[in-house]
A and B are shown apart, each in its own frame.
Chain A
Amino acid sequence: MTEPVIEHAEIAPGHDGQAELFLAIRYENGALGNVTLNAKCADKLMRDCNAESVAALAGQPWQKILNVLK
Chain B
Amino acid sequence: MYDLIICDGRIIDGSGLPAFVGDVAITGGIISQVGGRVTGPAASEIDARGQVIAPGFIDPHTHFDVQLLWDGQARPSLEHGVTTVVPGNCSLTLAPLKAEHRQRLVRMFQQIEEMPDAAFNGAFEWTWESFDGYLEAITRQLSINVAPLVGHSVIRLWVMNDDAQKRAATPDEITQMQDLLRQCLTAGAVGLSTSFVDVDHNLLPVPSRFAYLEEIDALGAVLGEFGRMLQVVPEFYNTDITIARVDQLAELSIKHQIPTTFSPLFDSSAMPDNVTRVLARVDEQFARGARVWPQVQTRPIDISFNFDMASLMFAATPAWYMVMRLPHDQKIDVLKNPEARAQLIEAAEPGGDISRFAELRVRDSQNPDLIGRRLGDLAQERQTTPANTMIDLSLEEDLQVHFLAANMGHEDPTRVGPIIARERVHVGASDAGAHIQSFATYGDTGYLFSEFVREGGYLSLEQAVKKLTSDTAQIWNLPNRGLLRPGQAADVVVFDPDTIARDEEHPVNDMPEQGMRYVRAAIGIDTVIVNGEVAYTHANGYTGSTSGVIATQPVQ
A41 to chain B: closest residue by CB? B203
For the complex, is A3 an interface residue (Cβ under 8 Å from B)? no
A63 to nearest B CB, angstroms?
Answer: 17
B92 to nearest A CB, angstroms?
Answer: 12
Residues of A close to B434: CB separation below 8 A:
16
B310 to chain A: closest residue by CB? A43
Residues of A close to B264: CB separation below 8 A:
13, 15-17
Q: Are B270 and A10 in contact (CB under 8 A)?
A: yes
Cα of A39 to Cα of B410 in the assembled complex, Å: 19
B202 to chain A: closest residue by CB? A40
Q: Are A19 and B435 in contact (CB under 8 A)?
A: no
Residues of A close to B238: CB separation below 8 A:
33-35
Please judge, given known A-B contacts A11-B312, A11-B408, A52-B321, whether A17 and B237 are in contact too, CB under 8 Å.
no
Q: Are A18 and B233 in contact (CB under 8 A)?
A: no
Cα of A42 to Cα of B312 in the assembled complex, Å: 8
Q: Are A13 and B409 in contact (CB under 8 A)?
A: yes
Q: Which of B112, B197, B266, B318 contacts A13 (CB 8 A)?
A: B266
Residues of A close to B112: CB separation below 8 A:
15
Q: Which of B233, B237, B321, B429 contacts A22 (CB 8 A)?
A: B237
Binding site secondary structure of chain B: loop
A39 to chain B: closest residue by CB? B312
A8 to chain B: closest residue by CB? B270
B319 to nearest A CB, angstroms?
Answer: 6
Please judge, given known A-B contacts A18-B114, A35-B237, whether A52 and B312 are in contact too, CB under 8 Å.
no
Cα of A46 to Cα of B321 in the assembled complex, Å: 9
Q: Digit string of A1-42 for contact with B (CB within 8 Å is 1, else 0)?
A: 000000000111111111111100000000001111011111
For the complex, is B449 an interface residue (Cβ under 8 Å from A)? no
Q: Are A39 and B311 in contact (CB under 8 A)?
A: yes
Q: Are B203 and A69 in contact (CB under 8 A)?
A: yes
Q: Are A38 and B199 in contact (CB under 8 A)?
A: yes
Q: Digit string of B302-331 for contact with A (CB within 8 Å is 1, else 0)?
A: 110100001111011111111001000000
For the complex, is B451 an interface residue (Cβ under 8 Å from A)? no
Cα of A41 to Cα of B408 in the assembled complex, Å: 20
For the complex, is B236 an interface residue (Cβ under 8 Å from A)? yes
Q: Are A22 and B319 in contact (CB under 8 A)?
A: no
A23 to chain B: closest residue by CB? B237
Residues of B close to A55: CB separation below 8 A:
316, 318
Residues of A close to B325: CB separation below 8 A:
43, 47
Residues of B close to A15: CB separation below 8 A:
90, 112, 197-198, 233, 236, 264
B residues with a Cβ closer than 8 A to A are 90, 112-114, 197-199, 203, 233, 236-238, 240, 264, 266, 268-271, 297, 301-303, 305, 310-313, 315-322, 325, 408-410, 429, 431, 434-435, 438-439
17 additional A-B pairs beyond A15-B233, A16-B264, A16-B434, beta carbons within 8 Å, are A10-B270, A11-B408, A12-B269, A15-B112, A15-B197, A17-B302, A17-B303, A19-B303, A19-B311, A19-B312, A19-B313, A19-B408, A42-B315, A47-B325, A53-B317, A53-B318, A53-B321
The 3 closest A-B pairs by CB, nearest first: A36-B237, A13-B301, A13-B409
12 A-B pairs (CB sep. < 8 Å): A10-B316, A11-B313, A12-B409, A13-B303, A17-B439, A19-B311, A21-B315, A33-B238, A36-B237, A47-B325, A52-B318, A53-B320
